[in-house]
Chains A and B, each alone.
Chain A
Amino acid sequence: MDVKKIREDFPIFRKMINGKRIVYLDSTATTQKPYQVIEKIKEFYENYNANVHRGIYSLSEYSTELYEKSRENVAGFINAHPEEIVFVRNTTEGLNLLSYSFLWNFLKPGDKILISMMEHHSNFIPWVRLKHFNIDVDFINITDEGYLDLEDLKNKLDKRTKIVSLSHVSNVLGTINDVNEISKIVHDNNSIFVVDGAQSVPHTPVDVKKIDCDFIAFSGHKMLGPMGIGVLYGKYDILKEMAPFLSGGEMIKEVHINNIIYEDPPLKFEAGTPNVEGSLGLSAAIDYLKNIGMENVRDHEKRLTDYAFKKMDEFDDIVIYGPKNVEKRGGVISFNFNNGNRYIEKELIKNDIFVHPHDVAGILDSENIMVRSGHHCAEPLMDFYRIPATTRASFYIYNDEEDVDILMDGIKKVRKVMKIG
């Protein structure tokens, strides 16, 4: 993979700050966009803009065709049928759609939902909120190394368990959960299996038929596409039985005072004017990724993670969270100096060696190194490790070994400024 050449496709990487290039290591939060995506959106507004599924005139028919072509492209990317692809704003909206719709005509008091301790808030809060309706939510444990405890999953699955919703790849630990295996376990219990694919679909080949998940949600902006477009895949037979989420225009066949007939999926779940430009941008992003090949994307990130691990080994006081085996984790590295021990004790005893992730990120920023610091929208996971926060560096197709080297120099600077080591 020619990273230097890939970087040339991304206008933002031409930008210099204080005469130095940007080292962007926060693709887990959002990725940068290649000009192919940016141009596609511009092209739409300059040539084809009209509302979809409405007009009889040629522009509207053409924009509808473009929108539906995007849907086909998304479907092909994860081996689904276009009718199973619901366009949403992002992963968060996809998962909220599910919790809301299930509550409407599927869940009843006493039912149970299983999630895990490593979930992003977007796969946590939409389910935990249902406790208000007397629906139980239980949490699958994780091991100290950051793997999902499959025995705990088996123990907690019972007759009341209607839904199991888990991340495919953890946005903090990088853990790749064995969704194929989990899918079997969950289906043996006749429960519905929902996958949060926000950190997997952009980084590794995902085939919904192979996984046999019932749903998977992911975001366009984390895979080179624009913000505001995301996808919820669902098995058609289940989508057909589900109640709508948002309602209004576009999602109906007939409306009378006493009778409303909804559209078939996926339109049933797409109330209001959809994000057509977003769907086109996402489709262009998928073309870009397909051109590189998702296997190559995965291999590239694996190699970079391995390289970064070896480099970080030089610092014996850096703690990395999550699996050490690069075969079982994605290109997300969360770390701390000295495990944040000061915070565990709630005293100042180790104050001389701890560095808060916020300070790490601030000092790295002075070198144009962009990493994330904080709880990464996974506070229960922070509680599990008894830390307030971590610093997180994450990789994508436009990062290379040089970026890792620059990060290591940045870490050396952090130690110097903060006077540790």
Chain B
Amino acid sequence: MDYIISVYRKPKNYGKLENAHSKSESNPFCGDRIELFVKIENEKISEIKFTGEGCTISIFSAEMLSENFIGKNVNEIKSLSDEDYLKLLPISLTPTRQKCALLSFRIMKNILRDLEKN
């Protein structure tokens, strides 16, 4: 818990990116809102930042997402399920709190889906 809170208090990738793909979504259940900024080069994630408001779990998850996904291939991320993503987090969560954790992952997937459509 101490580790989660220390990440929550000072997430390294908190901030905005210029000229990046971005999307903002909220969790209607609790009002958490995260905006994700993603840069992609040669089908690889080169940079991720986020801003927003949320509980420890949602902010912690956004930070973990950014740290884990930088350098990853886009297709690799697309193939991940919610369960796969939750396994990347070093905590076990109740179903309600899973929604907090999945917010940033859902935004990431939606950004990639939008890119595919265009």
Q: Which residues of A contact B (CB under 8 A)?
A: 342-343, 346, 348, 351-352, 356-359, 362, 373-375, 379, 382, 388-389, 417-419
Contacts and interface: CB of A to CB of B under 8 A. Distances in A.
16 contacts: A343-B53, A356-B55, A356-B56, A357-B30, A358-B32, A359-B56, A362-B55, A362-B97, A373-B30, A379-B31, A382-B31, A388-B30, A388-B31, A388-B32, A389-B30, A417-B1
Given A358-B57, A373-B30, A375-B31, A417 B5 contact: yes
A418 B1 CA distance: 9
A396 B32 CA distance: 29
B53 A358 contact: no
In the A-B complex, the 3 residue pairs with the smallest Cβ-Cβ separation, listed nearest first, are A358-B55, A356-B55, A388-B31
B5 A374 contact: no
Contacts of B29: 374
Interface string B21-52: 00000000111110000000000000000010
Contacts, number: 50
Chain B, interface residues (CB within 8 Å), range: 20 to 34
B55 A359 contact: yes
A358 B8 CA distance: 14
Contacts of A351: 8-10
Interface of B: 1, 5, 8-11, 14, 29-33, 51, 53-57, 97, 100
Nearest to A353: B9
A357 B11 CA distance: 19
Nearest to A379: B31
Nearest to B29: A374
Candidate in A374, A388, A389, A419 with the most chain B CB atoms within 10 angstroms: A388
Contacts of B11: 348
Given A358-B100, A374-B29, A388-B31, 4 more contacts: A351-B8, A362-B97, A389-B30, A419-B5
A346 B35 CA distance: 11
Nearest to B31: A388
A375 B54 CA distance: 13
Contacts of A356: 32, 54-56
B44 to A, nearest CB: 28
A388 B1 contact: no
A246 to B, nearest CB: 27
A33 to B, nearest CB: 23
A349 to B, nearest CB: 11
Contacts of B8: 351
B30 A374 contact: yes
Nearest to A387: B31
B38 to A, nearest CB: 20
A348 B53 contact: no
Contacts of B33: 388
B14 A348 contact: yes
A417 B56 CA distance: 12
Nearest to B26: A388
A352 B9 CA distance: 6
A120 B10 CA distance: 35
A346 B16 CA distance: 12
Contact of A388 (B9, B51, B53): B53
Contacts of A362: 55, 97
Contacts of B56: 356, 358-359, 418
